Amino acid sequence: MRISIIIPAHNEEEYLSQCLGSFVNQTQKPNELIIVDDNSSDDTYEIASTLAKSHKWIKVLQHKSLNKHVPGKKVVDAFNFGLKHASDYDLIGKFDADIVLPPNYFEVMLNHFQGNWKLGMCSGLLFVDKGENWVYENIADKSHVRGPIKLYFNACFQKIGGLRPGVGWDTVDVLLAQFHDFEIHTDPSLKVKHLRPTGHGYSKKSYQSKGEALFKMRYGLPLTKLAALKMAWQAKSILLLFQVLKGYCKAVFLQSPRYVTEEEGSFIRKHRWKGIFSKIF
């Protein structure tokens, strides 16, 4: 199975060397690693290009985009730019530039996909530095395939229509994979270091964008309220509850384009409620 990995990178000079070093040191290397320098103003491009000179399976591309941070859309646009330059693949991965993989990551991933042809998406788990040790980044269930380390089976990736260009892309893809009867899996033995914790630099506007994403995924107001409450609890800020709900209501008023069809939205709501009730009872 051929593996192609795309890493969108915007001003990642602080973490990129460690990240790419963990790819080079894999027991089973990807067939192709595409680093997309997304309009960086630091040494991201130089660091990636220097490494690529020593490894023919590494490509470096430059993507022109706005300097303004657009949550979700900016990274997906850079990923899609890299995807246009990808060779034939059986497994396609979207990875961040601030992670460090264990050396057997892709070897284990291959075993999972080769052993289960219904597997649509797979990853390890993310851990953050808490001083003396690395602990699980507890912002999602351990069953959730996280955005910085996603690997897709090609058939699944095509069936879900690729990645949605906006906040929530790394949730709706999982839900759509399940809608199309693919399985998802996370391997707890694969502990990936996340050098920059999720939420770093989040603004009020970012949380409003999350509310907009819930509308686009057709969560409905009751589920959105629960999701917003969970985010506020994790961030220890009741104000974020209102920011998420404000973003949702704004999307309702503007009738923002949806990520999913009505049929897919119905599945998503039933799936989410089933998960909630299973935890209660």
Q: What is the dihedral of CA 260, 265, 271, 274, to 10 degrees?
A: 150
Q: What is the pTM of this model?
A: 0.92
- Residue pointed to by tokens 């107001």: 221
Q: Is the separation of the CB atoms in 59 and 52 below 8 Å?
A: yes
Q: Which residues pair with 9 in a beta bridge?
A: 37
CB 44 within 8 A of CB 73: no
pLDDT in tens, the chain (281 residues): 999 999 999 999 999 999 999 999 999 999 999 999 999 999 999 999 999 999 999 999 999 877 666 678 999 999 999 999 999 999 999 999 999 999 999 999 999 999 999 999 999 999 999 888 999 998 888 999 999 999 999 999 999 999 999 999 999 999 999 999 999 999 999 999 999 987 655 555 778 899 999 999 999 999 999 999 988 887 788 888 999 999 999 999 999 999 999 999 999 999 999 988 887 87
Give residue 228's Cα distance to chain centre: 19
